[in-house]
Amino acid sequence: MSIAFVFPGQGAQSVGMGRDLYEMSVAARAIFELADATLGFALTRLCFEGPEEALTATENAQPALLTVSAALLASMGELWGAGVNGRECQETITASYVAGHSLGEYSALVAAGAIDIPTALRLVRRRGELMSEAHDGVMAAIIGIDEAELERICRETSAEDAPVVIANYNSPGQLVISGAGTAVERACALAKERGAKRALPLKVSAAFHSPLMRDAAAGLAAALARAAIVDARTPVISNVTTEPLIQADAIRRELIAQVTSPVRWIASVQRMSAEGVDSFVEIGPGSVLTGLIKRLAPDARLVNVSDLASARAFGEHSGVRSRNSE
């Protein structure tokens, strides 16, 4: 069995996430306490109690999701030996690859040992601030149209000063476009004329993963230049190129490019499948990626680890003895 750990991105957050981990896992509680100390405010309370509007704010949602994903992985390490951040453990459960959807790529890099948790928290907090400061453009989900056709529509409706591009290749027939408001509106109308089932505006503050995020990318590049990043122990499948990332310099370039580039999730899952991955374990709140992968790799084993109960169940179903029983 070849396993990939995958980590969700922004939008997976919900008030109350991680509370059971904090209350019942010593290793997970340490992650939450580290997050509060690193960021200088009560992120833990925000995760557990909200309010939802504050948790959903980009600058808060991003470190909150990373914290819960890291806490889940730490609890898995506590139970089964699936270690996090280079900690010594019995490696009874290991991943051949890791990947994350947009923000989730930072959680994947933590799991791969390329970035420590405090550094990742500071980076995603800054990333969230830069993205929330951007107010240009909009995004829309386009349902039920071929990606090649949607790419043609984007080229037809895009202009140099008003671009529109595909931002997320999530699954066949489930794509997201991003760009200037007028261009996105034209692209939505043309997509429906050409057979799209739905074109839904998204509630976001700006045109993420588009050329309109250049200033945010520049700001993040400055933060990344100061960040401690090392070579990954486990290959991280790139959102941008779908190539496995190992070297620290390549990881820095990836995280800068990711801000203005599309998330190629379809090709990322296909790449992992081609490399022999037959089991995908989504680690984080919700189950969005599990649903997407089900369409992309229908024969794969899919596991969702979103709370302590599912972390326990994963190891039990994998035939691994709990470390607590030794």
For residue 7, give the nearest of 53, 74, 72 by alpha carbon.
Answer: 72
Work out how many domains the chain is built from and give that number.
2
Q: What is the CATH number of the domain that holds 176?
A: 3.30.70.250
Of 171, 204, 237, the one marking the end of a domain is 204
307 and 160: one domain? no
Q: Can you say how many angstroms the Cα of residue 68 is from the centroid of all Cα atoms in its chain?
A: 12
The reported pLDDT for the residue numbered 314 is 82
300 and 319: one domain? yes
pTM of the model: 0.94
Could you tell me if 9 and 262 are in contact, meaning their C-beta atoms sit under 8 angstroms apart? no
Q: Which amino acid does the sequence have at 225?
A: A
Could you tell me if 205 and 131 are in contact, meaning their C-beta atoms sit under 8 angstroms apart? yes
The reported pLDDT for the residue numbered 317 is 65
CB atoms within 10 A of CB 1: 9
Q: Which residues pair with 282 in a beta bridge?
A: 6, 304
Beta strands 164-171 and 174-179 are: antiparallel
200 and 255: one domain? no
108 and 238: one domain? yes
Could you tell me if 90 and 323 are in contact, meaning their C-beta atoms sit under 8 angstroms apart? yes
CA distance 177 to 212: 12
The reported pLDDT for the residue numbered 324 is 47
Of 181, 204, 227, the one marking the end of a domain is 204
The two structure tokens encoding residue 234: 């486990």
| CA distances for 220 relative to 42, 101, 126, 193, 261, angstroms | 24, 18, 7, 38, 14
Beta strands 279-283 and 244-245 are: unpaired
- Give the chain's radius of gyration (CA, Å): 19
124 and 272: one domain? yes
127 and 142: one domain? no
169 and 302: one domain? no
CA distance 280 to 302: 5
171 and 219: one domain? no
Q: Which amino acid does the sequence have at 122?
A: R
The reported pLDDT for the residue numbered 103 is 97
Could you tell me if 175 and 151 are in contact, meaning their C-beta atoms sit under 8 angstroms apart? no
17 and 116: one domain? yes
What pLDDT tens digit does each residue of the chain (326 aa) get?
799 999 999 999 999 999 999 999 999 999 999 999 999 999 999 999 999 999 999 999 999 999 999 999 999 988 876 544 434 433 446 899 999 999 999 999 999 999 999 999 999 999 999 999 988 899 999 999 999 999 999 999 999 999 999 999 999 999 999 999 999 999 999 999 999 999 999 988 899 999 999 999 999 999 999 999 999 999 999 999 999 999 999 999 999 999 999 999 999 999 999 999 999 999 999 999 999 999 999 999 999 999 999 988 887 666 544 444 44
Coil/strand/helix, residue 72: helix
The reported pLDDT for the residue numbered 321 is 47
Q: Which domain holds residue 36?
A: 3-133+212-325
Q: What is the CATH number of the domain that holds 99?
A: 3.40.366.10
Could you tell me if 29 and 75 are in contact, meaning their C-beta atoms sit under 8 angstroms apart? no
Of 154, 171, 204, the one marking the end of a domain is 204
The reported pLDDT for the residue numbered 36 is 98
256 and 128: one domain? yes
| CA distances for 207 relative to 44, 53, 186, 199, 227, angstroms | 29, 20, 15, 16, 26
218 and 311: one domain? yes
Residue positions annotated with a catalytic role: 102, 209
Peptide bond into 51 cis (omega under 30): yes
The reported pLDDT for the residue numbered 93 is 63
305 and 190: one domain? no
